[in-house]
Amino acid sequence: MGFSTFKEKKAEESKSFVVLELFTSQGCSSCPPADRLMGKYAVANNPDMMLLSFHVDYWNYIGWKDPFSKKEFSERQRQYAATLNSSVYTPQLIINGSESVVGSQESSITRLIKEAREQKPLAELNITAKKNLTNIQVQYDCKALSTKYKICFALVKKEESTAIKRGENSGLTLTNYNIVTDFKTVPSDLKSGSINFVLNGNAAASEYQIIAFVQDSKSLKILTAAKTEIITQ
Q: What is the mean pLDDT of residues 39-47?
A: 96
pTM above 0.85, yes or no: yes
Distance CA 230, CA 137 (A): 9
C-alpha neighbours within 13 Å on the C-beta side of residue 233: 11
The total number of structural domains in the chain stands at 1
Order of strands across the sheet that contains 173-187 = 99-102, 92-95, 18-24, 49-55, 173-187, 149-163, 208-216, 222-228
Distance from C-alpha of 117 to C-alpha of 121, rounded to nearest angstrom: 10
Q: Are 225 and 50 in contact (CB under 8 A)?
A: yes
The model's pLDDT over 176-213, given as tens digits with 9 standing for 90+, comes to 999 999 999 998 788 899 999 999 878 999 999 999 99
Query: Domain holding 157: CATH number?
Result: 2.60.40.10
Which residues face 51 on adjacent strands? 20
> What mean pLDDT comes out for the span 96-120?
97
> Residue 137 is part of which domain span?
3-232
Average pLDDT, the chain: 93
